[in-house]
Structure 1
Amino acid sequence: MAPRNRFRTAIATAVAVTVTSAGAGTVWALDRYVIPHVEVADVAQYEAQNSAVVSSSDGGATDAVVTGDSYTDGDTSITISTVTTGTGSDTLTYYVAEVTLADATGLRSAFAHNQFGANIIEKTSEIAADHDAVLAINGDYYGFRDTGIVIRNGVVYRDEPARTGLAFYLDGSVRIYDETTTSAQELLDAGVWNTLSFGPALVEDGQAVAGIDQVEVDTNVGNHSIQGEQPRTAVGVIDANHLVFVVVDGRDDGYSRGATLPELAQIMLGLGATTAYNLDGGGSSTLYFDGAVVNQPSNGGERGTSDILYVAG
């Protein structure tokens, strides 16, 4: 949940001022956090060549019905709602997308600029528009780190186990798992369609996970604590192919203060989630529906991110 754009801007500005005398540390920071490193130049082609699963969601549906806060297309449905609690400085505003999929492959992932690698970013709404998404949320910002298991749309992109992950299976189930006890290939063989690597897990077996008010994720240079009242993005599963996405706005007294992780877990439980997982938040937290950003990102506008989860329209 780091202020990554501000971090990158600060580094780039410092280098511009001291370009003739840049030290090794500055050069390292630019390379690590700013300069794009493309590993897969054409993700669409890569997935077409490597995925053994054919998605049932091809977009371009002719019988879809969209209203201001709902979408239906056969057995796929989406309902958007806004929840506000509290008053004054205690006001909390969050957005809920309840999603029922006709098939698990209807939930897809997409990368910024159709490329996989470090420091490749694009706004959630732009990635969504490029893929004809009717609904999208920001993902796990995989491009800010070089660890984690990354399987997207049935294709392995990275196999560097490091933390607690989330796996979406082809049977419509969603499970929390320990990356360090398995491999990307084993997950793929078991029917995993997508993975996310951020965290922490919020809800398991219908119970809030203990100790999440102490967990930190990626506390390296350029990042800050995920604790406290923050803008948030979370995904949960109610039942097979029945998902719920939550985006919490924050850092705006009187409109929305942001949520703590324990509060987020309770929100997910209240929505019926039996499993729930925290994604990248802060300025990244974005909910997109029917061509527009629904929430109010805390940066005063969208922040670039490396990936999204989406449902094609």
Structure 2
Amino acid sequence: MVLAALGCISSSLLFLTPWGSNLRISLAEMVINTQHRDWAWMLVGAEKRDDMVNKMQQQIDVWGTDKQHDGLIKPDTRKRSASDLIKVVDIQDENHNTPTWRGKKMYVYDPRTIRLVTTSHKQEGEKISDMVKRTGALAGVNGGAFDDPQGLGNGFAPIGFLMSGGEVILTEYDGSVKQHVVGFTKKGILKIGLYSINELIKDGVTEAAFWKPRIIEDGKGLITSGDGGAGRDPRTALCQTKNGTIIFLVIDGRQPGYSMGATLKEVQDLFLAEGCMNAGFLDGGASSELVADGKLQTKPASRYGERRLPDGFLVFADPSSYKADNMWDGLTKIDAGGAYDNPGYQQEQAKLRAKATHSPSSPKPTAVHTPKATSEVDKPPTISPKSSPPITGDPEPVKKSPTPKSSTSPSPSPAKGSAPPKHTTGSDSVNEGNISSSSSKP
């Protein structure tokens, strides 16, 4: 009776009060920003969920539309030693008595030393710590978006495009299609927003990947109300100050008692306080990480530790020493992987099998009926119906499924001239196939 009463009170607070409504919307934003987007209907209903997704996508496209003014950035081009090139500091939420997030901030004083590094493995991604060790880089963070089926992908299926050393490594679309971009020119100017590959080449961009959203343009914060509409999550973001300094921000999340993650607005405010002129995000969630001084500096949200990734932005004492591997050259289809080839998941299942095999049988209870013991062996991870990447462009209509309730609304429309919707699975997703690889220098 007491539990029933408490349940009624809780339900009333959540669904019949302004406070409860705001809480449900905030929680729905967090769910929408993960690979389990469909489940947000349980908090706000399917129609409201789809409306939130559409509005979020439209707002992100608006933030990315205007072209930044590169002339406002004057990079400091003096020669620096490796020891004077970067600085890593601890950061945490200072706006609450108990910090809601913790992470790291890395200053890179010469933006020309940043390169997009790609995996060196066939048919799978590579950990950022392994990339740093292999290339002799000083530090690195995770890069652009990728297809990630059920959160167990192999890190080999980038979304959008990749550029390194002035070469288009691969692209889903032709050179005239606008995509959300994070990249660097040969002179060290950070470019963020909606650009086509043709525009990037014209502007002298040499290192770039797909991700979003942009949150600061020419020194002006773009999030003017609310928290940005994506809830709290692990974040990887970057900005550039007037003197060219790049600031990478990696915030841990999804870890109650340690760090729940930051909102888009909190990251924007941190960057504005640093005097940043342009800022945006790289891939986040369980992919967020920073490696420096030869070790992992942050605490990734993945239960298997560091993830295999297709690319990352690394800092070099000698950036000319690196040439990107093109492991996608000649491929017409890309296998994004899944539970069947995820080493962490397979090891976890092996341990469960071993535990079940060697566990003594449970004693029978005194009751006449003896319930059969249940086993977790081979129990698959909780998997939501397929959905498009969180706060990336181009989510498709949510597919019908008995549970959770499916959506019937149309997919959000991308900005005029932006890439058509193709992404179908995962929190960092791209559909299998439709990738063209190029190793020719534009």
**Residue 307 (structure 1) aligns with:** 311
Measured at CA, do residues 147 and 254 of structure 1 come closer, stay the same or move farther in structure 2, by a change above 3 Å?
closer
SS at match of 1:297: coil
SS at match of 1:163: strand
Kept after mapping to 1: 8 A contact 2:183/2:205: yes
Structure-to-structure mapping, 1:147-186, within 5 angstroms: 148-159=160-171, 160=173, 161-179=177-195, 182=196, 184-186=197-199
**Residue 144 (structure 2) aligns with:** 140
1:124 Cα deviation from its structure 2 partner: 1.2
**Residue 129 (structure 1) aligns with:** 133
**Residue 93 (structure 1) aligns with:** 102
1:150 Cα deviation from its structure 2 partner: 2.6
Output the CA distance in 2 between the equivalents of 1:80 and 1:90. Answer: 20
Structure-to-structure mapping, 1:45-84, within 5 angstroms: 71-72=83-84, 77-84=85-92
**Residue 8 (structure 2) aligns with:** none
**Residue 252 (structure 2) aligns with:** 249
The one-letter code sitting in structure 1 at the alignment partner of 2:230 is Q
State the superposition RMSD in angstroms: 2.8
**Residue 237 (structure 1) aligns with:** 240
1:64-123 deviation per Cα after TM superposition (whole angstroms, max 9, x unaligned):
56xxxxx32xxxx1111001225676432121001111x62x1111112256xxx63221
Kept after mapping to 2: 8 A contact 1:143/1:306: no
Measured at CA, do residues 92 and 156 of structure 1 come closer, stay the same or move farther in structure 2, by a change above 3 Å?
same
Measured at CA, do residues 304 and 146 of structure 1 come closer, stay the same or move farther in structure 2, by a change above 3 Å?
closer
Output the CA distance in 2 between the equivalents of 1:229 and 1:174. Answer: 25
Output the CA distance in 2 between the equivalents of 1:282 and 1:246. Answer: 13
SS at match of 2:276: coil
1:263 Cα deviation from its structure 2 partner: 1.1
Output the CA distance in 2 between the equivalents of 1:214 and 1:148. Answer: 27
1:171 Cα deviation from its structure 2 partner: 1.9
Aligned pair partner of 1:111 in 110, 114, 118:
118
Structure 2 residues not aligned, in runs of 5+: 1-32, 37-79, 149-156, 318-442
Alignment of 1:207 with 2:200, yes or no, is: no
**Residue 280 (structure 1) aligns with:** 283
Output the CA distance in 2 between the equivalents of 1:271 and 1:299. Answer: 30
Size of the aligned set, in residue pairs, is: 228
Output the CA distance in 2 between the equivalents of 1:3 and 1:290. Answer: 32
| Higher strand content, 1 or 2 | 1
Structure 1 residues not aligned, in runs of 5+: 5-62, 66-70, 216-225
Measured at CA, do residues 138 and 213 of structure 1 come closer, stay the same or move farther in structure 2, by a change above 3 Å?
farther
Output the CA distance in 1 between the equivalents of 2:253 and 2:292. Answer: 19
SS at match of 1:254: coil
1:17-46 deviation per Cα after TM superposition (whole angstroms, max 9, x unaligned):
xxxxxxxxxxxxxxxxxxxxxxxxxxxxxx
Output the CA distance in 2 between the equivalents of 1:178 and 1:214. Answer: 22
Output the CA distance in 1 between the equivalents of 2:179 and 2:294. Answer: 34
1:248-293 deviation per Cα after TM superposition (whole angstroms, max 9, x unaligned):
0111222212001111111221222111111111110000001100
1:187 Cα deviation from its structure 2 partner: 2.0
SS at match of 2:138: strand
Higher Cα radius of gyration: 2
Kept after mapping to 2: 8 A contact 1:139/1:196: yes
Measured at CA, do residues 120 and 93 of structure 1 come closer, stay the same or move farther in structure 2, by a change above 3 Å?
same
1:294 Cα deviation from its structure 2 partner: 0.5
SS at match of 1:308: strand
Output the CA distance in 2 between the equivalents of 1:194 and 1:285. Answer: 19
**Could you tell me the TM-score, scaled by structure 1's length?**
0.65
1:187-208 deviation per Cα after TM superposition (whole angstroms, max 9, x unaligned):
2233111122110102111122
1:210 Cα deviation from its structure 2 partner: 3.1
Measured at CA, do residues 2 and 312 of structure 1 come closer, stay the same or move farther in structure 2, by a change above 3 Å?
farther
Output the CA distance in 1 between the equivalents of 2:137 and 2:225. Answer: 32
**Residue 266 (structure 1) aligns with:** 269
SS at match of 1:237: strand
**Residue 404 (structure 2) aligns with:** none
